[in-house]
Amino acid sequence: MSEKIIIFDTSLRDGEQSLQASLSVREKLKIAFALERMKVDIMEVGFPISSPGDFNSVREISKNIKNTKICSLARCLDQDIDVAADAMSVLKDFRIHIFLGTSHLHMKYKLKKKFDDILNMAIRSIKRAKRYTNDIQFSCEDAGRTSMDNLCKIVEQVIHHGATTINIPDTVGYTLPNQFGDIIHTLYERVPNIDQAVVSVHCHNDLGMAVGNSISAILSGARQVEGTINGIGERAGNAALEEIIMAIISRKDILKVHTTVESKEIYNTSKIISKICNIPIPNNKAIVGKNAFSHSSGIHQDGVLKNRKNYEIISPKTIGWKNVQFNLTSRSGRAAVRHRMKNMGYKDNEYDINKLYESFLKLADKKGQVFDYDLESLAFIKNQNKNSEYFRLQDFNVQSNCNGYSSALVKLICGKKIVIKSATTNNGSVDAVYQALHKISGYSIFLKNFQLIAKGQGKETLGQVDIIVKYNNRTFHGLGLSTDIIESSAKAMINVLNSIWRSKQVSLKFKKLES
């Protein structure tokens, strides 16, 4: 029977304190509910003494979370401990997490105290916390740079006086995996009462070693791991919990441990935290990045089609990621194009794969990524060139006033005729242009995502607008480029309108064939 790893999430404490602006109580509750659904064992939800807002957040989360243990942080000061306990007082069972610097650097320059003073402060604080709870975690801050003799002494003493979890942080991300593993191993060898507490680790990512150090610690006997979702946190961040969890699940043959976290909630929780904290997830981020399960190489795509395990060590479904598709680019092969057409419901005898693939490569070289509706138009609509686009922008005029209202007059070429429509909104000039375009096209479009990127510098800077829209349960992408942001926005939407129009032509063609 493998041992369980306790998953301790500190996204709402260590992660939140690194943000440019504090989160509201409502935002923190949303994250807390997501973490509860993910079934993390413990969530550290704040540092109550730091501000009234943090105190209120801890109290509200304590009132609302039912299935995950709540923990609050405190320094080795009586008032810190008392306030932390007060913030969680609505709970019958909670954890107080006390920390104190133990390295020579912290003792000499930050705390200006000798080791015996540090030891006494730690013991006194453990005794104080025991007034409120029997679940006490003690952290040896900067343990990675603490002498082993001092580390063993303080760990033994705080366990003796009531600490139930001993946290060994690599506070500045300084150690290497073999070093960090040796620290944990040495504690088990030299601390006589180490079996009376759970050994925990809290690793930072300054050298990119946070997850590696955490895994090394597990191999050496640590049974609690701290971290944050998406690795958010001070400086370069914390150990990314989603990576640790999936390493435990995927490499149980080596690690010989397990977790009771609901892994299918990982992707959703990652998106929630990214959105609320306004920290985009890098495309190449392990486990939850956009490219984590994408395959562009034709060789890889062919291998995945034959057996996903050829190039995927984790199933996307394991983390709750659905409908993962290949990126169709100029590096994709015929097998990927044929597979995508089959997924859209087209049979091999309904199109010429060789002609389609030849046209696909030309478009992919120009466009980069090719989407489903592009393939449809390449396969079934002839004369694919710029002049054949049904919608073309001829002119537009926008006016805004200080009351927040914007009006747009758009002149659009629709096939062989010109249509003029106007719209007024209180949501800005771009929205006014979009409303006018929707009136002309008659398409009921939902804008899912709007992204503006500056290309270049100075007066000649180009504004690139990328949009994603939903229409009839299908996703369409549009791109526009211009020195004028409103014009680039209009071009992006017209790009979408033309893609929708072409997809409709394909549908009409097949309806005629069926009749």
Pick from 495, 463, 504: which is nearest to 476 by CA? Answer: 495
Q: What is the pLDDT of residue 375?
A: 86
Superfamily of domain 386-514: Alpha-isopropylmalate synthase LeuA, regulatory domain (3.30.160.270)
Rounded-to-integer distance, Cα 495 and Cα 479, Å: 7
Condensed to tens digits (0 to 9), the pLDDT of residues 485-500 reads 999 999 999 999 999 9
CA angle (116, 120, 126) in 5-degree steps: 145
Q: What is the mean pLDDT of the chain?
A: 92
Tens of pLDDT, residue by residue over 322-338, are: 766 678 888 888 888 89
Residue 164 has pLDDT above 80, yes or no: yes
pLDDT at 463: 84
Tell me the CATH class for 3-277.
Answer: alpha beta
Residues of the chain with CATH 3.30.160.270: 386-514
Residue with tokens 């169709």: 328
Q: What is the pLDDT of residue 359?
A: 87
Q: Is the pLDDT of residue 123 over 90?
A: yes
146 three-state secondary structure: coil
pLDDT at 249: 97
Q: Are strands 3-4 and 6-9 parallel, antiparallel or unpaired?
A: unpaired
List where CATH 3.20.20.70 sits in the chain: 3-277
Query: Is the model's pLDDT at 220 over the cut of 90?
Result: yes
Choose the weakest-confidence range: 166-180, 228-242, 255-269, 321-335.
321-335
The model's pLDDT over 358-396, given as tens digits with 9 standing for 90+, comes to 988 988 888 788 888 888 888 877 655 555 689 999 999
